[in-house]
Structure 1
């Protein structure tokens, strides 16, 4: 499996996802991306192993801006996505929230389909994020 940084992954996924979309949809995708980046840099560390969290702290001591997305890979991203669907990180507007839930679910599926994470090895985490997305769709009117 190739190792790409979270930065490379997000740039590629969101570029391909927004391609050919209407201006309003592409703008929503941009807001979701901005929120995801903020989430990763703010709370992403909580889902890392202690060794990985210490590495992030060290990186931030030298270059704090965008440290998470520069340093980590697809597996680290996968393990943080459940938290991105928590109520405190959901975007306020209904359409933005729907887009956030939908794109998070699609991002997990994309990570697996591109073999950036091993769906078999990380099956429980994949299911956890997809289940969280489904709950958010039902409970918060976030169907896509």
Structure 2
């Protein structure tokens, strides 16, 4: 079995689900089916900007399942943000944000750290130490 096949098998198993992910599923989709059913129908996708272990896309709702550290952490709208470099996760709600444009999360209004690393660059706002 190839590494890719093994990775896809690992990704097909439903991880433990955080309450936050269930809440976001209900808020961001019509949620006419259980999250677990949608997970099984979702396809593995590459989402490097999400800094996750892996991600799955449920295409009927364009919902992106984000898994990190063995937990389904959140459900995001796949609105094209994942194709952009330089995004980071909100420290409170795990939604993706642009650290250059936002010092607070547009989803939950949580203030973000003055310095954040997106994996390629480090953003420092308000003249903080570099």
- The alignment's TM-score, normalised by the length of structure 1, stands at 0.29
The one of the two structures with greater contact order (alpha-carbon pairs below 8 A, sep at least 6) is 1
Larger radius of gyration: 2
Instruction: Give the number of the structure whose residues are more often strand, by fraction.
Output: 2
The answer to which structure has the higher helix fraction is 1
